[in-house]
Amino acid sequence: MYAQLVKTEGTKSLEEMTAEERAFQERIDRGEKIEPKEWMPEGYRKTLIRQIGQHAHSEIVGQLPEGNWITRAPTLERKAILLAKVQDEAGHGLYLYCAAETLGVSRDELMEKLHNGTMKYSSIFNYPTLNWADIGAVGWLVDGAAIMNQVPLQRTSFGPYSRAMIRICKEESFHQRQGYDIMMKMAAGTPEQKAMAQDALNRFWYPSLMMFGPSDKDSVHSTQSMAWKIKINTNDELRQKFVDQTVPQAEYLGLTIPDANLKWNEEKGGYDFSEPDWSEFFDVIAGNGPCNKERLGARVKAWEDGTWFREALVAHAEKAQARRMASKVAAE
Ligand code: FAQ
């Protein structure tokens, strides 16, 4: 089974709900925000922890494919920009871990679940970044897909998640522009540079489409998550919007989307396009993508290498507290 099947109360009709559940659902339907100390169904809490936690993990694992290129960026300006972007991703992870903590889960618990493979992170970060054009493609396509998914999440029903998203989206749009800017330079460069840009698009196109999750018929959480406004759109709706937005951007670059079936459909007002290879997606989220072991290994190593530092922080805080207590007693 590829999903965690966080147990929810099911998607009940208003008549089937208890009075408490009904009042909760009515608040959601009115567009009210739910705050951490307020009553919420257990399934709502668990679904949020799953989604926000996985989102947080994606941000910090997502630092790895780009972090690898900071020292190899072609100019000092590109280095500074990439460094700022990668730092932003750490910040996004922190806002999201804080939002998850308000639901009663500790950051250590979330980390443990990432490290032991019981919580996921986005499939996209299990693909390698082989050259500088890939950094352009990540910013353009991966951040582009992230924004497409995250802009609606600013209206998500859980207050701390929604507020984190507002801030994150502002930064993500800078990230996407820096990626597109790299692609513009590469696509307008030498024939070799343009070929690198096309090759990066070829490799990142389908993995980017997979970021939106399985097709709606295979999405186990969408119905309940949308009823609770934890999710605002279905996976397929966002994928379609992403394709419609990205095709003209590729045309402007003079690059070709690697899909022979891509065609404007006047009737639906959007492009027809080929589905990604879903067996590859399920394989990647099961831990068998090209870089899963490397990415998780790097996170576990960072956690283990940081043990002495976390212990020192706790010891320092305890000493400072003891000193404060001693001087308070002495003053009395
Ligand atoms: N990768 O029933 P659904 C970023 C799992 S942006 C891995 O449709 P749901 C920024 C899903 O968890 C990327 N697993 O699930 C950045 C579930 O398994 P579970 C992160 C996936 O939750 C850019 C199962 O499949 N963004 O990092 C994926 O309703 C550049 C069933 O699927 C977010 O997390 C996937 N792509 O919809 C950073 C946004 N798709 O949990 C650095 C918030 C599905 O039961 C550099 N999350 N699965 O074991 C969401 O909007 C939703 O969680 C979806 C999935 C849309 C991702």
Of 292, 283, 2, 257, nearest in space to 127 by CA? 292
CA–centroid distance, residue 17 to ligand 1 (Å): 28
Res 4: pLDDT:
61
User: The tokens of 179 are what?
Assistant: 């990626």
pTM for this model (two decimals): 0.94
Give the model confidence (pLDDT) of 110-168 as tens digits: 999 999 999 999 999 999 999 999 999 999 999 999 999 999 999 999 999 999 999 99
Q: Which residue reads 């007002």 in tokens?
A: 269
Res 6: pLDDT:
53
- Tell me what percent of the chain is helix, strand and coil, each rounded to the nearest 5: 70, 0, 30
Residues of the chain with pLDDT under 50: 7-9
Closest ligand 1 atom to Cα of 143: 23
**Beta carbons of 72 and 138 less than 8 angstroms apart:** no
List CB contacts of 201: < 8 A, sequence separation 6 or more: 137, 141, 250, 255, 256, 257, 258
3-state secondary structure of 231: coil
**Beta carbons of 3 and 46 less than 8 angstroms apart:** no
| Region of residue 13 (left: phi > 0; alpha: psi -120 to 50; beta: else) | beta
CA–centroid distance, residue 96 to ligand 1 (Å): 14
Cβ < 6 A, ligand 1 pocket: 2-4, 50-51, 54-55, 58-59, 62, 89, 120, 122-123, 142-143, 146, 149, 210-214, 219-222, 225, 231, 235, 285
Closest ligand 1 atom to Cα of 5: 45
Res 177: pLDDT:
95
Distance CA 27, CA 23 (A): 6
3-state secondary structure of 29: helix
Distance CA 8, CA 221 (A): 9
Res 14: pLDDT:
79
3-state secondary structure of 62: coil
Best of 285, 292, 295 for a ligand 1 pocket test (most atoms within 8 Å of beta carbon): 285
